[in-house]
Homo-oligomer: A and B are copies of this chain.
Amino acid sequence: MYVFIQGLSKLSMSPYRFSGSKPETSIRLATNNCPYNSACDGCSSRHISLCNVLDTDELKSFSKISTDFHKNAKQVICSEDEDAEYIYNIRSGSVRISKMLSDGRRQITGFLFAGDFFGLSCKDKYSYTAEAITNVEICRFPRTKIIESFREFPALGERVFDMTRTELDSTHDQMLLLGRKNAKEKLCTFLLTMWEKSGRLNEGNGDEVDIPMSRSDIADFLGLTVETISRQFTNLHKLGLIDLDGAHKVFLKDTDALSALAENG
Give the B-binding residues of A (Cβ under 8 A): 20, 99, 101-103, 105-107, 109, 120-124, 127-128, 150-151, 154, 157-158, 160-161, 164-169, 171-176, 178-181, 220, 222-223, 263-264
Contact = CB atoms under 8 A, between A and B. Distances in A.
B174 A168 contact: no
Nearest to A121: B165
7 contacts: A101-B263, A109-B175, A123-B165, A154-B154, A164-B165, A174-B175, A178-B179
Given A179-B223, A181-B101, A123 B20 contact: yes
A223 B180 contact: yes
Contacts of A103: 263-264
Nearest to A162: B123
B175 A178 contact: yes
Contacts of A102: 263-264
A192 to B, nearest CB: 15
Contacts of A157: 154, 157-158, 161
A105 B264 CA distance: 10
B223 A101 contact: no
Contact of A223 (B158, B161, B178, B264): B178
A172 B109 CA distance: 6
B20 A166 contact: no
With most chain B CB atoms within 10 A of its CB, the pick from A127, A128, A168, A264 is A168
A128 B172 contact: yes
Nearest to A173: B99
A228 to B, nearest CB: 13
Contacts of A172: 99, 109, 127-128, 171
A203 to B, nearest CB: 24
Contact of A164 (B101, B164, B174, B179): B164
Given A121-B168, A123-B165, A166-B123, A176 B264 contact: no
Given A121-B168, A157-B161, A171-B175, A180 B128 contact: no
A180 B123 contact: no
A180 B122 contact: no
Nearest to A223: B179
Given A99-B172, A103-B263, A171-B171, 10 more contacts: A99-B173, A99-B175, A101-B176, A101-B180, A101-B263, A102-B263, A154-B157, A157-B158, A167-B168, A179-B223
The 3 closest A-B pairs by CB, nearest first: A179-B223, A178-B178, A107-B176
Contact of A179 (B107, B123, B160): B107
